[in-house]
Structure 1
């Protein structure tokens, strides 16, 4: 026995080495001292950069997980190509200052009072704390420091990057460009950029463009996130149309003000993505001892195609971005009174709508615009946030009590950042509206924008919101924002501080949301901005859901919702069923409208006062069917089963995380030449399992009351559903079907 024990002890050092090595590999962030390399690993992703011989931070690798440290060598700057193509221009720096012959997009550009604009950032030190790495850079001679923060999310492989620019000297300087990060992609040609663009009522159109030598810019100069372009990107190669295969690099900015993402291919065919504050009309004077923090810029990689990139973002948003764990809950079914009453709200009318909504199975009743001040149309009243006594002589309390007694929570529409010139607030404080002295004030929707960058305006806005929620049992605010910046002046502060309005406005907006949520922990908030004008990862840290578009026409919504889900989870996507004819003068069936809206967070916006008893009964059945699948739709995995280019036939599948339920939606725009639709092949199923299948497919009214109800259609195996698919019977124009699969056996 002694000999055996002695022999076994020989293996202890080797075991300790192996354990130490395994522990090192399990860490999300490591610094390889001998090679001066930082290795960041999360999930199936590795991200590596190092310190080169010039003491610059230099990118090394971003892609699939590489666990062997020996594979990575110390970094050396890129050699000079010619006297016109210097090393500094092509060395892939992690965070480049504008100086020393840099011709590519810098991450930081400054001007000192003496006219010096040269900025060369070198490595100073670093700290690792759990999943966060901080790297400190400093200019080679001046007291400007930049702290780079990298946070690794091991579950998804996403990396959050941010920078903080500090003035540790005694002289102010002006920042002209402050970016969050430079991302460097693997050297290759043939990259394709996917982004989301559009306009009011036409948001989230998927835009695909080849990346060529030069620069492509995604941006907003409107003061908010904007419908024109969204701060999300995805890059892959060779025009791949496969949703589930292929390398994809993707990312999103968390900022609700002016933003900019540039995608640049150098003459050496290096592709870099730089994002942060928009440089347009930007100047931020940094006083001694002061600092400026840039927005969070999130980046990810997958080899599983754009479909997996979307699912990674969805899971990340639900678990790491949405506040107070709201991404782990399910959204209630909501009714909004706008289309029924518009500005003609009163207690009796809202009560009647609430009773009809409750009978349908609605869980939250929201009263929209018109409840305050002299708000009888959109010409007056914004800014005067007192309850209109003629419409609500008992205040809001009586209505809220009635809504609660019907089993629903109560929500209210607000537009805190706006003011009508015809309002008591504007007459008292005309200087509170954005303006340039001596210049006209441009109105949009008959309103002006309050300068929320001002401390007094910020405090006023917080306090009336706080009092509104404190004095009334309000569970939900629909926070609207119906115009863009114009005349973004701030004449009350020194000239060198006035352009800070672009940053401070959004910072103060965030502060109000943060304070409001902290004081009222149960309060939920929707980000609405004339539709999808304020949807980004910054606002999502502070709100529970968003309004993708004012366009609720069901066929248009299919495309808008499909684009939206490339970047954002269906969990937050409010989707209304409204009356027809709608936005395009088009009429489609109630079933079609419900099945489109059931792919997100379902809501009803129809005028229930005009709905027939038959429609109300059908709606009740659709709401009940949605409640059976909403956990799967809102918190499951989304698979797009049809190509993005196909607008005639669109199909989406939602699979529950535990694999027990699947909801598959299919929509036919128009049948042509008598042809049917090919079988629908489902994804992510257990091929060894058997699934019970129920269906909503009743294109014509049925006297037996089955419209909107799920009916049984037997069982099929996962293998059959994957390889053969579901046989569809879609026909005619605007036909639709929902299949619900329940896993019953292996």
Structure 2
């Protein structure tokens, strides 16, 4: 059963005929009750006696014939606690007696700012989708709330379309995609934070009364906080307990507010960041919010991440529902930096091909007058000094080595020292007469402008049309400042926060449509633009510039709570590492990266024959298990966080025919051995053969045993020392 309701009414009609279908429960009279069922989840909401749309239930799936009582507004507690404020509305306007976070706040042309949204109508699309229309009690502001539940995962996609049918413009000052509510209980909030080279830190804290605001004011997603959350009830842990989770599909400035009210109920509201926000809607115009995805599980944080990651693979990524395996890449940045040339890159390509690499990527320095990060951005023509015959000879050489070719670009940026900026200094985000702040010697192009959007698309289209390029590493190396758009009237300039991101999405979509073989990575000085919005247009992301293997263990742990391994680029680079001066073995570095989308970024000119042999052997082993590792169900068996000496992960293929187990030790002490690891997710009745990818199991470990044995008895690994790793595969007989 998807969406359950008795009848549909025309726009603006009364709700008298609504009720649940017989198989969903008894008829509830004049108050509509809507029910969405998917996976192990039921999401229900209805219209209360005042006409407000109110959440009724969100949790484990209810029985088909269970009756959900109609909505009833909360009682008034005092003159300070109004019923309107305490009732968990699905999409509350700021008006009447609302003191909590609103979903929508507007100013009308006459200065009126009161907005009270009541139910008007609904329309069913299929068993899993419904649109519900709410309208202000007197003004012609109409909001269509879009609901869709995934039948497999139970993840609900919610968004809002706001329309102005007033005779005059209205100013939208705050607009959420959705608000979700949870009843009073003890909850723990989890979220991801970070900084450059220190992304993907998983934070956990108790939810108390008041607001916890997660946001980016940077114009893009940002590394400081990611638009993802999880809320565990009571003692929920990694593999047990009720957990609600969500992710906002928006790559611009965003905000998620987690708020516990005076009755201890929790509300999560997410959408455009209202900071410096203002979107003028002329009569007849509409504004569409981002999509806010949210789900439920009773299998803890691990269950939450597996549901969301599977959903991302099958519904979000450009190649969904069956994305291709990501090629193992070699990237030339650390070997050459800006000093690229046909000869230098060709020699590196030969070494990369010898490792079994699938794709050769040339990084920065190939275009314009690019000899450092001080010049050239914006001038997307091939540098004739470095490549006198263009890129074709290098691309042909790469192809002759049985690899395809990728290229680094940063299309949304410009150096002041560039032909583009000298010709169009007005094309950057700026406030006229004010300083133009430079980070990394560059400025941000105002992609919201139609002429800038056309230039960026044409430049990338020309590059892809004239060259056989299979992959773009699409970088974005600074956040916004001075976000002015003086081509528009003053009261419309804040539209830049929406139109910039919309144009970015449209460029990526149009490029992919015209060049369907091209794959794209979202990169932003590390993990600065990672969200479900950008992942609808890109195939993978760059999680961090920090490739130190020990740091990557914790970063990958955090990343996979919100995003699938299929999207997580993971490079092997050189030792000692440039950031921490840490020395580590090639096997350790390779195994850490083999937990993601394996890539190699070290300077192959300095690798020893032994390094090359180890990498070649493990690249071949990775190819054999990659589908399981990147598209299977991930179990985090031992967390590397909080100073843990050990860490371990296991990934199981969807059909349970294969599992891959990784184990790592930071540094063993006092003769301790690696703890026995009980595996998860296997078929208990099947027989699995144990094979070593790298390392040894403890003496006496069977070479074959049932899934029940591996899950109940577990596996012991012979692993001691500093910065050591091991990996095993289990194949069903």
Taking structure 1 as the reference length, the TM-score comes to 0.93
Q: Could you say which residue in structure 1 is the equivalent of 2:721?
A: 732
| 1:536-615 superposed matches below 5 A | 536-582=531-577, 583-615=579-611
Q: Structure 1 residues 226, 665: CA separation in 2 closer, same or farther (over 3 Å shift)?
A: same
Note if contact 1:167-1:289 (Cα within 8 Å) is conserved in structure 2. yes
Name the CA distance, whole Å, in 1 between partners of 2:687 and 2:129.
Answer: 44
Name the CA distance, whole Å, in 2 between partners of 1:179 and 1:78.
Answer: 23
| 1:66-85 superposed matches below 5 A | 66-85=62-81
Deviation at 1:662, TM superposition (A): 0.7
Q: Could you say which residue in structure 1 is the equivalent of 2:151?
A: 154
Q: Does 1:631 align with 2:630?
A: no
| 1:506-545 superposed matches below 5 A | 506-545=501-540
Q: Secondary structure at the match of 1:403?
A: helix
Q: Could you say which residue in structure 1 is the equivalent of 2:460?
A: 465
Q: Secondary structure at the match of 2:268?
A: strand
Q: Could you say which residue in structure 2 is the equivalent of 1:89?
A: 85
Q: Could you say which residue in structure 1 is the equivalent of 2:708?
A: 719
Q: Structure 1 residues 25, 646: CA separation in 2 closer, same or farther (over 3 Å shift)?
A: farther
CA RMSD in angstroms, aligned pairs only: 1.7
Q: Could you say which residue in structure 1 is the equivalent of 2:184?
A: 187
Q: Could you say which residue in structure 1 is the equivalent of 2:385?
A: 390
The correspondence for 1:141, drawn from 134, 138, 152, is 138
Note if contact 1:25-1:67 (Cα within 8 Å) is conserved in structure 2. no
Q: Does 1:166 align with 2:200?
A: no
Note if contact 1:253-1:297 (Cα within 8 Å) is conserved in structure 2. yes
Name the CA distance, whole Å, in 1 between partners of 2:541 and 2:321.
Answer: 13
Note if contact 2:472-2:520 (Cα within 8 Å) is conserved in structure 1. yes
Q: Could you say which residue in structure 1 is the equivalent of 2:436?
A: 441
The correspondence for 2:618, drawn from 615, 618, 622, is 622
| 1:367-406 superposed matches below 5 A | 367-406=362-401
Q: Secondary structure at the match of 1:652?
A: strand
Deviation at 1:237, TM superposition (A): 2.2
Name the CA distance, whole Å, in 1 between partners of 2:675 and 2:90.
Answer: 48
Note if contact 1:243-1:305 (Cα within 8 Å) is conserved in structure 2. yes
Note if contact 2:254-2:270 (Cα within 8 Å) is conserved in structure 1. yes
Q: Does 1:42 align with 2:31?
A: no
Name the CA distance, whole Å, in 1 between partners of 2:659 and 2:472.
Answer: 32
Name the CA distance, whole Å, in 1 between partners of 2:173 and 2:434.
Answer: 26
Q: Structure 1 residues 70, 638: CA separation in 2 closer, same or farther (over 3 Å shift)?
A: closer
Q: Could you say which residue in structure 1 is the equivalent of 2:15?
A: none
Q: Could you say which residue in structure 1 is the equivalent of 2:651?
A: 654
Q: Structure 1 residues 31, 525: CA separation in 2 closer, same or farther (over 3 Å shift)?
A: farther
Deviation at 1:611, TM superposition (A): 1.0
Q: Structure 1 residues 446, 95: CA separation in 2 closer, same or farther (over 3 Å shift)?
A: same
Query: Per-residue CA shift, 1:422-471, capped at 9, x if unaligned?
Result: 00110110001111111111100011110111110000000010010011
Q: Secondary structure at the match of 2:598?
A: strand
Name the CA distance, whole Å, in 2 between partners of 1:136 and 1:658.
Answer: 41
Note if contact 1:679-1:727 (Cα within 8 Å) is conserved in structure 2. yes
Deviation at 1:169, TM superposition (A): 1.8
The correspondence for 2:425, drawn from 419, 424, 430, is 430
Q: Could you say which residue in structure 1 is the equivalent of 2:666?
A: 669
Q: Could you say which residue in structure 2 is the equivalent of 1:292?
A: 287
Q: Structure 1 residues 611, 210: CA separation in 2 closer, same or farther (over 3 Å shift)?
A: same
Q: Secondary structure at the match of 1:376?
A: coil
Deviation at 1:716, TM superposition (A): 2.7
Deviation at 1:31, TM superposition (A): 9.9
Note if contact 1:30-1:39 (Cα within 8 Å) is conserved in structure 2. no
More deviation in 610-619 or 370-379?
610-619
Q: Does 1:279 align with 2:274?
A: yes
The correspondence for 1:355, drawn from 345, 350, 355, is 350
| 1:301-380 superposed matches below 5 A | 301-325=296-320, 327-380=322-375
Note if contact 1:132-1:150 (Cα within 8 Å) is conserved in structure 2. yes
Q: Structure 1 residues 25, 572: CA separation in 2 closer, same or farther (over 3 Å shift)?
A: farther
Name the CA distance, whole Å, in 1 between partners of 2:603 and 2:410.
Answer: 23
Name the CA distance, whole Å, in 1 between partners of 2:21 and 2:705.
Answer: 47
Q: Secondary structure at the match of 2:270?
A: strand
Q: Does 1:417 align with 2:412?
A: yes
Note if contact 2:695-2:718 (Cα within 8 Å) is conserved in structure 1. no
Q: Secondary structure at the match of 2:604?
A: coil
Q: Secondary structure at the match of 2:393?
A: helix
Q: Secondary structure at the match of 1:178?
A: strand
Query: Per-residue CA shift, 1:461-494, capped at 9, x if unaligned?
Result: 0001001001110111000000000111111211
**Number of residue pairs aligned between Structure 1 and Structure 2:** 707
Deviation at 1:697, TM superposition (A): 3.8
Deviation at 1:405, TM superposition (A): 1.4
Name the CA distance, whole Å, in 2 between partners of 1:25 and 1:695.
Answer: 56
Q: Secondary structure at the match of 1:226?
A: coil
Deviation at 1:647, TM superposition (A): 2.8
Q: Does 1:232 align with 2:228?
A: yes
Q: Secondary structure at the match of 1:71?
A: coil
Query: Per-residue CA shift, 1:614-645, capped at 9, x if unaligned?
Result: 21111100100100110000110000101454
Q: Does 1:65 align with 2:54?
A: no
The correspondence for 1:455, drawn from 450, 453, 467, is 450
Deviation at 1:499, TM superposition (A): 0.9
Name the CA distance, whole Å, in 1 between partners of 2:430 and 2:28.
Answer: 54
Q: Secondary structure at the match of 1:316?
A: helix
Deviation at 1:686, TM superposition (A): 2.1
Q: Structure 1 residues 470, 32: CA separation in 2 closer, same or farther (over 3 Å shift)?
A: farther
Name the CA distance, whole Å, in 2 between partners of 1:245 and 1:636.
Answer: 20
Q: Could you say which residue in structure 1 is the equivalent of 2:17?
A: none
| 1:90-105 superposed matches below 5 A | 90-105=86-101
Q: Secondary structure at the match of 2:605?
A: coil
Note if contact 1:317-1:327 (Cα within 8 Å) is conserved in structure 2. no
Name the CA distance, whole Å, in 2 between partners of 1:665 and 1:221.
Answer: 38
